[in-house]
A and B are shown apart, each in its own frame.
Chain A
Amino acid sequence: MLGFVEEIVLLQLDDRHGSFVDLPQSATDVVIAGGALMELALANRVDADLERLIVVNADPTGDDILDDALARLTASGDALTSAGAVALVALDAGKFQEKALKRLVAKGVLRQTDGRWLWVFHTRRYPVLDDREQREVKTRLRQVLLTDEIPDPRDVVLICLIDACGLLGLILRPEEIARTASRVDKLARLELIGQAVTRAVAEVRFIVKHSAPPIY
């Protein structure tokens, strides 16, 4: 089973070309941080309520991404809201993304290819080699979204992260996205840390959308 950070990094890759889908980097960072935090929550290392997120057990999990995130939270020593914790862990998101990509290559899920763009600029892509697990996850999430089935906690997290990235089109057809909008909202709200991720990504999107274009 893949962790949430690996799952979300994998989902952000275009299946055919192995390049990342278009999402502002700061939004990607928030989603990766959210994945790490919600994995820590399911590993019983952090807990959250409406006001704060606390480290309840600082013991390492054995997963270097999660343990770096846990160390970052523990070192802060501050009382954190979920939004504050997401912002703090997002500082390491680029490093987590690199680690997740290396793991996925090591597991034979992705292949790393290096090339040149315009014969000058170095490019790196990650075509998918083995998508069995991804297909299983998508099938399970379709079942949860298209029926009244109660999701398990891992499915709630994945739905929240996929929705935050705007990647529902990977698991639903366009007409299904419209039909399931209220159910997606309902399920994505179930995880309190996930709510902070959704809000933070929405803020990034708002800022990007309303930023003044560059003046040349």
Chain B
Amino acid sequence: MEFAQERAGDVLIVRMSGRLDSSTAQPAEDSFSRALGEGPPRLAVDLSNLEYISSAGLRVLLVIAKKVQQAKGKVVLFGLVPNVREVFSISGFDQIFSIEADAAAAVAAVR
């Protein structure tokens, strides 16, 4: 799994690609935790190149969502491919996360 980040003003855009499963969950969680830094995070997570997510991957996102909530920040996901969107829908993760179609909408939503 690849994990990249860039700034768009006060918003941190995180781009994840590849597979988020038991073999990549811990490095992903560590990368997220480092990226959150100080202060209330404003996070837009690009999943347009995330090909696969398992139960372990969903758990990472839940942990990150909890950390962001505790820090009184905001997190929005965008660009979910159909099979990842299906997992979100069946697991109910689409009720936990705000999901937008693209980066512009996600950045606007976390501001």
Partner of A190, one of B22, B56, B91: B91
Chain A interface size band reads 20 to 34
- Across the interface, name the chain A residue whose C-beta is closest to B52: A49
- Across the interface, name the chain A residue whose C-beta is closest to B67: A150
Indicate if the CB atoms of B66 and A56 lie closer than 8 Å. Answer: no
Q: Residue A84 at the B interface, CB < 8 A?
A: no
Indicate if the CB atoms of A190 and B93 lie closer than 8 Å. Answer: yes
Bound-state Cα–Cα, A147 to B86, Å? 27
Q: Find chain A residues with CB under 8 A from B92 CB.
A: 186-187, 189-190
Indicate if the CB atoms of A150 and B22 lie closer than 8 Å. Answer: no
Bound-state Cα–Cα, A151 to B95, Å? 13
Q: Taking A186-B92, A190-B92 as contacts, is the C-beta distance between A48 and B65 under 8 angstroms?
A: no
Q: Taking A47-B54, A190-B91 as contacts, is the C-beta distance between A153 and B59 under 8 angstroms?
A: yes
Q: Residue A178 at the B interface, CB < 8 A?
A: no
Bound-state Cα–Cα, A150 to B96, Å? 8
Q: Find chain B residues with CB under 8 A from A187 CB.
A: 92
Indicate if the CB atoms of A49 and B55 lie closer than 8 Å. Answer: yes
- Across the interface, name the chain B residue whose C-beta is closest to A182: B95
Q: Taking A152-B62, A156-B62, A192-B58 as contacts, is the C-beta distance between A50 and B96 under 8 angstroms?
A: no
Indicate if the CB atoms of A41 and B96 lie closer than 8 Å. Answer: no
Bound-state Cα–Cα, A191 to B53, Å? 13
Indicate if the CB atoms of B59 and A56 lie closer than 8 Å. Answer: no
- Across the interface, name the chain A residue whose C-beta is closest to B92: A189
Bound-state Cα–Cα, A152 to B58, Å? 12
Per-position 1/0 for A19-49, Cβ under 8 A of B: 0000000000000000000000110100111
Bound-state Cα–Cα, A152 to B69, Å? 12
Indicate if the CB atoms of A153 and B63 lie closer than 8 Å. Answer: yes
Shortest A185–chain B CB gap in Å is 8
Bound-state Cα–Cα, A109 to B21, Å? 36
Shortest A192–chain B CB gap in Å is 5
Indicate if the CB atoms of B62 and A150 lie closer than 8 Å. Answer: yes
Q: Taking A150-B96, A152-B66 as contacts, is the C-beta distance between A191 and B55 under 8 angstroms?
A: yes
Q: Residue A78 at the B interface, CB < 8 A?
A: no
Indicate if the CB atoms of A48 and B54 lie closer than 8 Å. Answer: yes
- Across the interface, name the chain B residue whose C-beta is closest to A188: B92
Indicate if the CB atoms of B96 and A190 lie closer than 8 Å. Answer: yes
Partner of B63, one of A48, A152, A189: A152
Q: Residue B90 at the A interface, CB < 8 A?
A: yes
Indicate if the CB atoms of B86 and A149 lie closer than 8 Å. Answer: no
- Across the interface, name the chain A residue whose C-beta is closest to B68: A150
Indicate if the CB atoms of B87 and A49 lie closer than 8 Å. Answer: yes
**Given A49-B55, A190-B62, A190-B93, 5 additional A-B pairs, CB 8 A:** A49-B53, A151-B62, A152-B66, A153-B62, A186-B95
Question: 4 nearest interchain CB pairs?
Answer: A189-B92, A47-B22, A150-B66, A48-B55
